[in-house]
Every structure is written in structure tokens, then in C-alpha cells.
Structure 1
Amino acid sequence: MITEFLILAVSLAALLYAADNLIETVVSLATRMGMSTMAVGLTVVAIGTSLPEVMASAAAAWKGHPDIAVGNVVGSNICNIGLILGLPALVVPVTCHRAVLRREGLLMILASIVMLVLAVFGGMSRATGLLFLFGFGWFIYQVFRKTKSNERETSSAENTSDEDAPGSLWTALRSAGFLGLLLLSSEFLVRSTVSLATDLGVSETVIAITVIALGTSLPELSVSYAAAKRKQGDILVGNILGSNIANILLVLGLSAVISPFAIAPATLYFDIPAMLLLAFVMVAFLWRERGVDRPAGLVLLSLYAAVIVRCVLYSAA
């Protein structure tokens, strides 16, 4: 057990170090490439921090455990909003541009509604999974199309010379390295946490509902903490919106392509509606001038805690 505690401590330290440096490098890379920090948060950082969900859910679907795949997606999205947006808001108010909420915020809500409707009418088929993957590809294309448009508008004002290319390449390599460390440290952190929970006699059901969903969201949590500390609200919100969209369209879509599945009644009647409720609350708070302030952060954290308590009580029943 001492070994697990040491692995957990080292992994957590590595996770926070990687996240802090990743924010610095992606902001630098965005500036060099003419991309907005929001675009970077919605794509590069969001997809990168969603890789644990991709790997965990794909493996679960491949091994014939769709409940784990779906629970991981829904639990991670709930965690992203309730915990990962709620915690930084206790330290500094989180705001973003309303245009982002009209586009990506609306897409997150629509994707959640579609997931709920599909759950009611029988679950995810391979065809549905392919449509989800196509939708995710369209989302990424739209983000980069807007970025390229903005880049053309500013190209006359700022001319990036060829001699900046080596610096941009080095920044990109550093970003990839820190992202790799982020994913590796989160993997060891999840393993050590699950091992500790098992040693302490916590049921595997509780671990799956709480620890795994939280564990695969740790990259988002660490990135959001670092973004809040640096007052990079666009990256923080972009990371959460992009990750939630990726979890539904990419992770769930890929899982359905691997192995079609129905959605469990408990997930249908409580977990997905809870995810949808939190999505509405997040957009409503961010729409205000003051954004997600401390009281709003406490509301989000309370909703997240209520979901976790319900999951634990349900599994114990």
C-alpha cells in the first residue's frame, strides 16, 4: 500500500507540472500560428486531455463492457462541469465570449440531448457511432476553418518570417511532450487510486462510477487549474466544452463502432439527465457578465457531489 501512495504522490506532482507547462507552450504556439487560445483549448488541449476517456471506453467496448464505456463518458462530462469548472471558480471568476456559448455550448447541449434520445430508443448502433464520428470531424473542421479565417485577416498586420519556424517546431514538440507526460501521469494516478481503493475494501462498482470517471478527467482538471492560475479563461472553458463534445461524439461514437450497445436504465433515467442539467447550468452561468463566480462554483460543486452521493447510495442498495 505504501508503494501505491508513493506512485500516487509522484503521479500527481507530474500531472500538475505537465499541465502548468502545457498551458504556457500552447499559448505560445497559438500566438505563433495565429490561432486563438479558445481554438487551441477546443481542439488540441481538449482532444489531448480526452485521450484517457478514448482509451478506457474503447477498451471497455472491445471487451464487452459497454456500461463502463458509457459510464466513463457520462461521469467524465459531469465531472468536467461540476468539479473542473466549479473548483477554479472558487479562486477566480471564469468568463468566456458569448459567441463560444452560441456555438460550442449549444453543440454540447445538442449532443447531450441526442444521446438521451438514442438511449430512450434503444441505444447506439454502428451507424449511429459513425454519424457521431462524422459530427466530431465536422466540429474540428469548423474550429480550424474559423482559425484560418482569422489568420488571413491578421496576416497583413503580422508577417511571420521563416526564421520563426524552428521556434514554432520546438514549441510544438514541447507541447507534445508535456501532453504525453500529462496522459502518462494520469494513467499511473488512476491505477494507483484503483489499487488503493481495492486494498481499502471499496466496491468495484463505486470505483467505476467515481474513481475511474474522475481519474480520466484528471488531465482536464489539471489543465483547468493551470489555466485559472494564469487567468486563461478561454483555454479553461474551451477545454471543458471541447472535452465534453469529444467525449460524446468521439468516445461514444468510437465505442459504438467497436461494439453496438444499449444504455442501462440507471444511466438513462438519472445519469444522462444529470449530465444534461449540468450542461444547461454551465451555459447559463457563463452567459452572465460575471460568468462562473464563487457562488456559481459552489452550486456546480454541490450538484457534482449530489450525483456522486446518489451513485454510491445506488450501488450500495
Structure 2
Amino acid sequence: MPQSIFRFSNWLGRFLLRRGIQSPDYRGLYAYHCSHEEYLDLLHLLRELETFDKAVNDTAASACLVLFCSEWYRREYQRDHGWSWEPIWKTLGYSLSPGDLGKTIPKGLEHYWKRPIHFYESERRDFLGSLFSEGGLPFQVLREGGNRFHALFDRILKQYDQWHILGYSTAQQVEQQLEKASLPKVFSSQTSVELVAHMADQLVSLVRDYGLVQTAEPVARLDAMNPKWRELFPLPLDNQTGSELLNGLLKTATVESGRCRKESGGWACRHFLQEAQPNVLKVQLSLPAEAVFQLAMQPSTTRFELVILEGSTVIAKLGKV
């Protein structure tokens, strides 16, 4: 058994070295992008133990178990698994008691990987939810959703600017859109909401930061300028379907950003009715960067005040120019 425990420390050292680091750097576990080969190797190491009893107090073994559970969620979790440890124990061939979990998960997640443990509203520690959140989005369920997930992002990206103008966060937008998306319930968890919102923010930022609206091939341009851009997202990158999904989402974000820019390029007045507050109507006014006015007479001053009128009533003053 001691020799097997020592192998976990060596495995972690090689795992980090391949990523150019010597110790964990506080990132979410999905962001290390454990490969399929590494995942299978880790499964083999853990199965060799046959029981985790003698490894409970070992930090390296605990760190490997934590990493495996988060990767299992991302790669293997399916809708019919439910929110349970049982499918993981079935995969490993043994289980951990609640007492051993209380020792192992904090040792591996907090002490080794430097990642926080989530809590229930009752202030009890949520070990399973913590590990699942570290894994990112469950890809098998995501693939099952297929076009529905892409349709969800279409709606989010099309209304992205509008929601932010109305004062909502991306997470609030995602929460409301998920209610209409008919996706599996696992995507309605707070962890999934935050991950989806983060993905939307990242996509919009990439389009803006790299000027992708100006090119007909945004994926090719971004691949040339930042080949590692896909590593920003909580999906397994050694799966072709995952890369194709990200490529499609980037193209959608580029198209929607270009549409919004075109619409806001001149004079425009758009009205938004908030679903959460049906009696509230908000207005977005867009002005061009430069405007030329034909005046009927020579003004006595070159200083003007901009105001917004509703009928003949001044409802807002925009300052002097």
C-alpha cells in the first residue's frame, strides 16, 4: 500500500509539470483540462487501491480522488445518474463512508488544490456539489441537449447587451432563459448557471478583444491570435464535439456582436418591456459619434445643451457641448 500511495504523489507531479507549473495555482479543476488518457490513468491508480481506507490521510491520494470525481462528472455524468455518489463508487469499485469523505475531500480540494468547498443553506458542507462544480459542465448531458443548448446560447447572446442595459447580470439572464430551454435539471443548478454565464461573458469578450466582427472567419482568426482560447471554457477539449460546439458558439457571438454594432451605429431608439416588471418600460437611445445639423439661422453661441424630450416635456438632460 505505501508504494501505491507514493505513486499518487508522482502522478500529480507529472500532471502539473505537463502544464508548466510545480504546484496548484488556484484555478478551477476543469481549467487544468485533464486529458482522456490522464483520466483513464487516474482511474487505474484509484482502482488499484481496492479500498481507500489506508489512503484517507494521504494528501496526494485525496487530491487525485477529488480530481477524478470532478472529471467523472464532466465526462461520464448522465441525466439518469441523479445527484448521488453511487455511480462514482460503482466506477471505482469501492466507496467512502461519510466520515472518510469528511477527511478526504477537504484535504484534497482545499489543502492541495486550494479550492473552496461549497455549503448548503443549512451551512453543512456540500462535498458532492463542490466536486461537480469543479468539473465544469457535464458533457454527456450537454451533448444530449444538443441543439437545445446551442439555442439557449443563441437567445443569451442575442439579448446580451439588452439585459446589461436593463441592469441585469449575465447570470440573471441565464436563470430566466433556462426556464424556457427545456434542458435537463442539472443545468438549473447555481453552479451550472454561473458556468454558462461565464461562458457567455468570455465569448463576448473574445469577440470584442480580438476584433472578430471584422472577419468572415472568426474561429480561424482567433486560432491564429490566441491558439489556447478554448482552454477558457469548462468543456473537455480532447473531444471533437466539444471543440465544434465552441466553434459554433464563437460564430454566433460574432454575428450577434456585429448585428448590435450595426444597429447602434447611428440614431436609434429601442424600447424594452421587462418580463419581471411588466409595468416598467425602459428606453435605449443610441447616438452617432458625430452628427451634422443644418441650421436655418446663425446661432448666437456655439455652446448647446442636449436634452431628451417626451412631447414638449424635458425628461433628461445630457449635458452641454
TM-score (structure 2 length as normaliser): 0.23
TM-score of the two chains, using structure 1 as the length reference: 0.23
Choose between structure 1 and 2 for higher RCO, CA contacts under 8 A separated by at least 6 residues: 1
The structure having more radius of gyration, on CA atoms, is 2
Higher strand fraction: Structure 1 or Structure 2? 2
